[in-house]
């Protein structure tokens, strides 16, 4: 059916590639491209010989001209961007120049400012529309599946949605004193930034990890959850009719928070350059280099994740509550694709989003957040591709 250029060769990219190869009727040919060619070749070596043809290439995703050259050479129908969010715009520029569909899992973020906003990518709307190509933003789990969950609830269960609480819980244990489950640089920037939520048409800002609650999650039990700023809040506030408040919560253990505070106190989470032995380094990037690689956590991680949306609103004039979520088992993910569940829950939706575009189910020119498309085929694919979802109509609510 089509060809996909996959930019990135980390844990999430590995899952995307495995899942593409499980769907060769859609992904007839893929090219894995990264700055480190050996990583691409290692993934290819594991999967070569199946129905999906695999190529590899070395690429600097910060270099638009180099990207354009690779796209022209390989001739993909879609570019799946699972590189760093700093590189979203250069990759979008290359897609515009070559007339190829674009997909990512996280919004653009400037390297020198921990700021998560869609404005830079939304500015491409008219250009993508004129070019007749689709840019699908945020096709991971959160953002991604959580936004589709909200669109599905809006379509099938509510006349108006008033309150959304997105809860991302990881009850897995990798055995290390401290490690991050995805790119340490991105993860720590996200956590140490100020929190915020959307309420009554405005942003309410909080100090980092200021708001904490305990929530009893299906299959993993009570967990400490902390309010964070998260990018899907921005687009859901525009696309979910009648919404009054949207919040995002993530679980962290007391041990994790203690380690993080110590690292922050000694300056290791800073993104401001410092002089070391005659040259500038960024402390957070140095920290990333000494922490365990998230892609190496798969064989060590045991337990489950639970990610979902607790939704309140109105149907036929009556109050209604709804909770839709996925539970993912780390060990099962590793047995299937060699990754832990954090990479799995991001990589599978990226593949499904690309599948929606290649099949023509989500194929309208312009730049769109994932909740702006029909949620039904995506929800169906989640059940078929390894991320089955569950529903409750009387969930415990967060005040």
pLDDT tens by residue, 133-190:
999 999 999 999 999 999 999 999 999 999 999 999 999 988 888 888 767 777 787 8
pLDDT at 113 over 80: no
Q: At what angle do helices 341-358 and 375-384 cross, to 10 degrees?
A: 130
Instruction: List strand residue ranges (DSSP E) for the chain, in order.
Output: 2-7, 27-34, 53-58, 78-81, 101-104, 134-137, 160-170, 195-199, 202-206, 212-217, 221-228, 245-251, 274-276, 279-281, 304-315, 318-329, 366-369, 389-392
- pLDDT by residue (tens digit) across 351-367? 999 999 999 999 899 99
CA-CA-CA-CA dihedral for 121, 125, 126, 127, to nearest 10: 60
11, 70, 60: which is closest to 346 by C-alpha? 11
141, 227, 224: which is closest to 190 by C-alpha? 227
Q: Which residues contact 73 (CB under 8 A, 6 or more apart)?
A: none
- The whole-number average pLDDT for the span 15-20 is 98
Tell me how far the alpha carbon of residue 74 is from its chain's centroid: 26
Radius of gyration of the chain (CA): 20
In the block, residue with structure tokens 């009554």? 200
C-alpha–C-alpha distance, residues 68 and 46, integer Å? 28
pLDDT at 199 over 80: yes
Burial class of 25 by CB neighbour count within 10 A (0 to 12, 13 to 18, 19+):
exposed
Q: Identify the residue with better confidence: 379 or 270.
A: 379
Per-position b or e across 125-160, b if 16+ CB within 10 A of its CB: eeebeebebbbbbbbbbbbbbbbbbbbbbbeebbee
Task: Give the pLDDT of residue 374.
Answer: 98
Domains of the chain from N-terminus onward: 2-137 (3.40.50.720), 145-337 (3.30.360.10)
Q: Identify the residue with better confidence: 58 or 262.
A: 58
Among 27-41, 289-303, 307-321, the minimum mean pLDDT is found in 289-303
C-alpha–C-alpha distance, residues 268 and 89, integer Å? 28
- Per-chain mean pLDDT for the chain: 94
Q: Identify the band that residue 88 occupies on the pLDDT scale cut at 50, 70 and 90.
A: very high
pLDDT at 21 over 80: yes
C-alpha–C-alpha distance, residues 327 and 337, integer Å? 17
CA-CA-CA-CA dihedral for 73, 75, 78, 84, to nearest 10: -10
Task: Give the pLDDT of residue 257.
Answer: 86
73 backbone dihedrals φ, ψ, rounded to 5°: -70, -45
Looking from the CA of 327 toward its CB, the CA atoms found within 13 Å total 11
Q: What pTM does this model have?
A: 0.93
| CA distance readout (Å), 65 to 38, 70, 209 | 22, 9, 41
In the block, residue with structure tokens 């005659």? 278
Task: Give the pLDDT of residue 40.
Answer: 98
Task: Give the pLDDT of residue 114.
Answer: 67
C-alpha–C-alpha distance, residues 55 and 40, integer Å? 9
**Quick one: tokens of 121?**
């990518």
Pairing of strands 221-228, 212-217: antiparallel
C-alpha–C-alpha distance, residues 325 and 341, integer Å? 14
CB 328 within 8 A of CB 217: no
C-alpha–C-alpha distance, residues 306 and 323, integer Å? 12
In the block, residue with structure tokens 């060809």? 3
């Amino acid at each position: 059916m089509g060809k996909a250029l996959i930019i990135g060769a980390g844990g999430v990219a590995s899952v995307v590639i495995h899942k593409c190869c499980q769907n060769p009727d859609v992904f007839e040919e893929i090219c894995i491209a990264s700055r480190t060619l050996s990583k691409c070749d290692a993934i290819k070596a594991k999967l070569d010989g199946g129905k999906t043809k695999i190529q590899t290439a070395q690429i600097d995703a910060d270099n638009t001209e180099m990207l354009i050259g690779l796209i022209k050479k390989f001739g993909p129908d879609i570019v799946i961007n699972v590189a760093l969010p700093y590189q979203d715009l250069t990759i979008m520029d290359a897609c515009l120049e070559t007339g190829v569909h674009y997909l990512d899992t996280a919004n653009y973020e400037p390297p020198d400012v921990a700021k998560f906003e869609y404005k830079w990518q939304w500015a491409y709307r008219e250009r993508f529309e004129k070019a007749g190509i689709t840019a699908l933003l945020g096709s991971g789990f959160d953002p991604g599946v959580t936004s589709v969950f909200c669109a599905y609830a809006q379509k099938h269960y509510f006349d108006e949605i008033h309150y959304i609480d997105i809860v991302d819980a990881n009850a897995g244990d990798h055995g290390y004193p401290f490690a991050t489950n995805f790119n340490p640089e991105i993860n720590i920037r996200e956590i140490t930034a100020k929190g915020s939520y959307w309420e009554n048409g405005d942003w309410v800002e909080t100090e980092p990890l200021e708001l904490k609650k305990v929530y009893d999650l299906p299959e993993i039990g009570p967990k400490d959850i902390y309010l964070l700023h998260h990018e899907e809040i921005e687009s859901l506030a525009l696309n979910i009719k009648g919404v009054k408040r949207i919040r995002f919560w993530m679980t962290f253990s007391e041990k994790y928070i203690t380690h993080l505070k110590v690292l922050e106190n000694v300056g290791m989470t800073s993104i401001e350059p410092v002089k070391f032995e005659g040259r500038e380094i960024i402390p957070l990037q140095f920290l990333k280099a000494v922490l365990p690689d998230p892609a190496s956590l798969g064989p060590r991680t045991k337990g489950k994740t639970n990610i979902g949306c607790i939704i309140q609103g109105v149907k036929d004039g009556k109050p209604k509550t709804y909770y839709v979520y996925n539970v993912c088992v780390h060990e099962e993910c590793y047995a299937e694709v060699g990754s832990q569940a954090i990479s799995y829950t991001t990589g599978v939706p990226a593949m499904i989003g690309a599948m929606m575009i290649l099949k023509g189910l989500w194929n309208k020119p312009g730049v769109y957040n994932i909740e702006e498309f029909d949620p039904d085929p995506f929800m169906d694919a989640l059940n078929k591709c390894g991320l089955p979802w569950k529903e409750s109509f009387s969930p415990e609510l967060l005040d």
